[in-house]
A = this chain, B = another copy of it.
Amino acid sequence: MNSTVSLINEYWTDIYFHLHYLHKEKISHQVVRILQLVDKQKEVGVSEIASYIQVSHNTASEHVKRMIEKKYLIKTRDPLDERKVILWLTDFGKEVLHRNTSLDEEKLAQVLNQLDNNEKNIVEQALKILSERAKQCM
C-alpha cells in the first residue's frame, strides 16, 4: 500500500514535470498558495490567508496589498460584517494561477490524443474519483 502511494506520487510528479507550463513570471511560492486558496475556497479574507500560510496578520495583509497592486486580486467587504475582507481572483489572477499550477492545455491535449477511448475514459474517471474523494475527506 505504501508502495502504491509512492508510485502514484512518482507518476504525479512526472506528469507535472513534463506537462506544466513554461511559466515566465517571477512569482513566489507563497503568492501561488494564496491564489490557490482564494480559488478553491469560499470567502477567503486576510486572516484565512494568515493561518493558511502561517504568517502574522500584518504580513498576510501586506501580501494582499501587493497582490492587489499586481492585479491578481480584488477586495470586497462582507456585507454582513464590514470588518471582514473577501478576496476574489481577477481574470489575470486566474491566468497566473493557471499557468503556475495547471497542466499545459496544449501538451495535455497532445497526450490525450494519443490515447484510445478506453484509456481516455480511465484517465478522466481516475482524476474525477481522486478529486471527489479528496474534497470529501479533507
Contacts and interface: CB of A to CB of B under 8 A. Distances in A.
Nearest to A33: B23
Contacts of A134: 14-15, 18-19, 107, 111
B126 A127 contact: yes
A8 B40 contact: no
B131 A11 contact: yes
Given A40-B17, A125-B126, A133 B108 contact: no
A20 to B, nearest CB: 9
A15 to B, nearest CB: 5
Interface of A: 1-2, 4-19, 24, 26-30, 32, 36, 39-40, 54, 98, 100-103, 105, 107-112, 114-115, 119-120, 122-131, 133-135, 137-138
